[in-house]
Amino acid sequence: MMMHLAGKNVIVVGLGVTGLSCVRYLLEKGANVSALDTRSALKHELNISVTLGPIELDALLMADLVVLSPGISRREPAIANALVKGIQVIGDIELFAQANCKPVLAITGSNGKSTVTMLLAQMLAQDSMKYVVGGNVGTPALELLDDEYDWVVLELSSFQLESTFSLKPYAATVLNISEDHIDMHGSLQAYRAAKMHIYRGAVHSLANRDDPQTWNAETAPDLTFGLSESPVGVGYDEPNQCITLDGRPLFSIRGTLLTGAHNILNIQAAAGLAHFAGVSTEAMRLACLEFKGLPHRCQLVAEKQGVRWINDSKATNVGACVAAVEGIAGNTAGRLILIAGGDGKGADFSPLREVLHRYVALVITLGKDGHKIAALGTTSKHVNSLTEAVNHAASVTKAGDVVLLSPACASLDMFDNYMHRGDVFQQAVEELAA
């Protein structure tokens, strides 16, 4: 049921891209809107009351509704106390869900969300279906409401999902679960619980059969995907490089530009959701052939003197780094050099230990928590900058080797964001002697 917003006192907390979309939407609905942002030097041109600096409980208690931007934790003391006092706190996806009347294909997980989201969109496009894409990637969800479409493809973060209760996707998936944003959620259990909200009211569900944490405890998934053999669900026939469905060939992925086991899982997940949406198998196949992948996600940025340089700056958690190392190691003739480190967000790095010892010849560490990765006991070198890391890697590599930037950490201790980090890496590689 759509809540009545006209005349309500609504406070938007956080004025990033999503927060600004919330302000515009709420004003259109006739709400009395004000905003808070913790950045004391933020410049804006909003014609509403904006308070900059620490979030104060007294301000929140004046609201009928608080709309929280993604990335601002509900555990923030003022927010948590407002919830205890009975103030309703939601996010942009809840506002979207109450207004949207078109079927939603919803994707979450610790890693691979954007790749699956954009590949699924390309599959829909290949079948001439009208769709829009947004949420945690691209366009904020509220800005999609005025478009003409048959399907909504939403990438959703744990922050967006934990404050959402009205979204009832036509099909939903949790791709995988590994430690991430523990500093914001407090525990792996709380983080996973937020992800599980995506299954609420879903008509169809898709889960990773090799990762039990992606399963809804209340109901079994309608379809599973995974690299393990199974007579049911979405599978992979490795000798024939074929995606299967219930043991039968679905489409070949020969010639796809996505490589590594983690990307086979991404293709399977996109195919499973596309299957629910009625996309033809030929459209799925063509989309996989044309899809070039996304920047900063296992992106080959250069090959110099036989050494491949791969930018996986989007690997902001341990699980993403493990997936990248395992996926690339199988396609590497020489040694694998890993550049890792940054802000670990309170994560446990121990799951990296085995893959580092098994696949990585040298790990070059940097950033706030780089020393924790170096302490895992593999051969390592600590540096003070990403450019220094690239130059050191260049001095020890030879033809056939691969240098992989897959930090297993957030970037904000040294960079504006993961894109900035990836761009610095690419620039440093480009400046190496040809």
Summarised one tens digit per residue, pLDDT across range 223-266 is 999 998 889 999 999 999 999 999 999 999 998 888 788 899 99
Q: Could you give the CA distance from residue 267 to residue 290 in angstroms, rounded to a whole number?
A: 13
> What are the strands of the beta sheet with 223-225, ordered from one edge?
131-135, 151-155, 104-108, 171-174, 204-208, 223-225, 234-237, 242-245, 248-252
Q: Quick one: pLDDT at residue 1?
A: 66
Residue 434 pLDDT more than 70? no
Q: Quick one: pLDDT at residue 195?
A: 94
Q: Quick one: pLDDT at residue 257?
A: 81
Helix H or strand E segment including 380: strand 380-382
Q: How many Cα atoms are found within 13 Å in the side-chain-facing hemisphere of 111?
A: 28
* Residue 426 pLDDT grade (very low, low, confident, very high; cuts 50, 70, 90): very high
CATH numbers and ranges of domains, the chain: 9-90 (3.40.50.720), 95-290 (3.40.1190.10), 299-430 (3.90.190.20)
- Flag the least confident range among 207-216, 295-304, 310-319: 295-304
Number of C-beta neighbours around residue 351 at 10 A: 16
**Structure tokens belonging to residue 129:** 């279906």
- pTM (predicted TM-score): 0.84
Looking at every residue in the chain, the average pLDDT score rounds to 93
Per-residue burial over 108-138, b = 16 or more CB atoms within 10 Å of its CB, e = otherwise = bbbbbbbbbbbbbbbbbbbbebebbbbbbbb
Q: What is the mean pLDDT of residues 192-200?
A: 94
Helix H or strand E segment including 350: none
Q: Which pLDDT tens digit goes with each residue over 7-45?
A: 999 999 999 999 999 999 999 999 999 999 998 888 888
Q: Which pLDDT tens digit goes with each residue over 79-113?
A: 999 999 999 999 999 999 999 999 999 999 998 99
**Structure tokens belonging to residue 355:** 């893959």
Q: Quick one: pLDDT at residue 373?
A: 96
Q: What is the mean pLDDT of residues 286-310?
A: 89
Chain centroid to Cα 312, Å, comes to: 13
Q: Quick one: pLDDT at residue 181?
A: 63
Q: Mind telling me the catalytic residues?
A: 113, 136, 181
Contact 60, 87 (CB under 8 A): yes
Residue among 155, 190, 194, 192 nearest 177 (CA): 192
Q: Quick one: pLDDT at residue 260?
A: 80
Q: Which pLDDT tens digit goes with each residue over 409-425?
A: 999 999 999 999 999 99
* Residue 298 pLDDT grade (very low, low, confident, very high; cuts 50, 70, 90): confident
Please state, for a pLDDT cut of 90, what percent of the chain lies above it: 79
Residue among 239, 241, 273 nearest 256 (CA): 241
Contact 55, 73 (CB under 8 A): no
Q: Which pLDDT tens digit goes with each residue over 136-191?
A: 988 999 999 988 899 999 999 999 999 999 999 999 999 999 866 666 677 889 88
Phi, psi at 231, each rounded to 5°: -75, -10
